[in-house]
Amino acid sequence: MIAILGGPIGNILGIYVRTGLFWWTGKWIGGNADASQVRAAVAWSYLPLCASLILWIPQLVLFGTESFTNETPRLDESIGLEVAFIGFSAAKLALLAWSFVIFFNCLGEVQGFSAWKAVGNYFLALLLVAVPVGAILAFVYFLRH
C-alpha cells in the first residue's frame, strides 16, 4: 500500500527535484533550456518505466509474495518459474535502459547540446548531491568511531 500511495507522490516530487538539478547544472555547461523544458524531458523519460508497471500484474500472479522476499522455495524448485523471473527482470532492465536513452536524448535536445553532453549534465547533478551527502555520512561515521 505504501508503494501504491507513496510511489506516485514521490515520483512527482522527484521530477521537480531532478528538474531543478538538471536545469541548474545544465546552465554550467551551456544549456539553454528553461525549467519547464527540462521537466518535460524528465517526465517523458518515465514513460518506459510506467510501461514496466504492467509487468507487475503477471509477475504477481506467477510469483506472489516471492517477488518481495529472499526466501523463494516455489521459484527455486521450478525451472520454468526461474526462466520467467529472469525474463521479467530482463524486460524491466531493457525498459530502464530505454528510459535513460530517452532521457539523455530529450535533455540534450532541450538544452541545445548532444545526448553525450546530457550524460555529463546528469553526472554533474549526481555529483552535486553525492558529494555533500557523502561528506555528511563520512562526518557521522567519524563521529561514531
pTM of the entire predicted model: 0.83
- Per-residue model confidence (pLDDT) at position 66: 83
Q: 50 phi and psi, to 5 degrees?
A: -65, -40
Residue 127 one-letter amino acid: L
- Per-residue model confidence (pLDDT) at position 77: 86
pLDDT (tens digit per residue) in 10-25: 888 999 999 999 999 9
Which region holds residue 82: left if phi is over 0, alpha if psi is between -120 and 50, else beta? alpha
Q: What is the span of the domain harbouring residue 106?
A: 2-144
Q: What is the DSSP letter of 70?
A: S
- How far apart, in whole angstroms, are the C-alpha atoms of residue 124 and residue 92? 26
- Per-residue model confidence (pLDDT) at position 64: 83
Residues of the chain scoring pLDDT < 50: none
- Per-residue model confidence (pLDDT) at position 83: 92
Nearest one of 82, 19, 79 to 45, comparing CA atoms: 19
How many domains in the chain? 1
- Per-residue model confidence (pLDDT) at position 65: 83
- Per-residue model confidence (pLDDT) at position 75: 80
- Per-residue model confidence (pLDDT) at position 69: 83
- Per-residue model confidence (pLDDT) at position 108: 97
- Per-residue model confidence (pLDDT) at position 32: 94
- Per-residue model confidence (pLDDT) at position 88: 92
- Per-residue model confidence (pLDDT) at position 1: 73
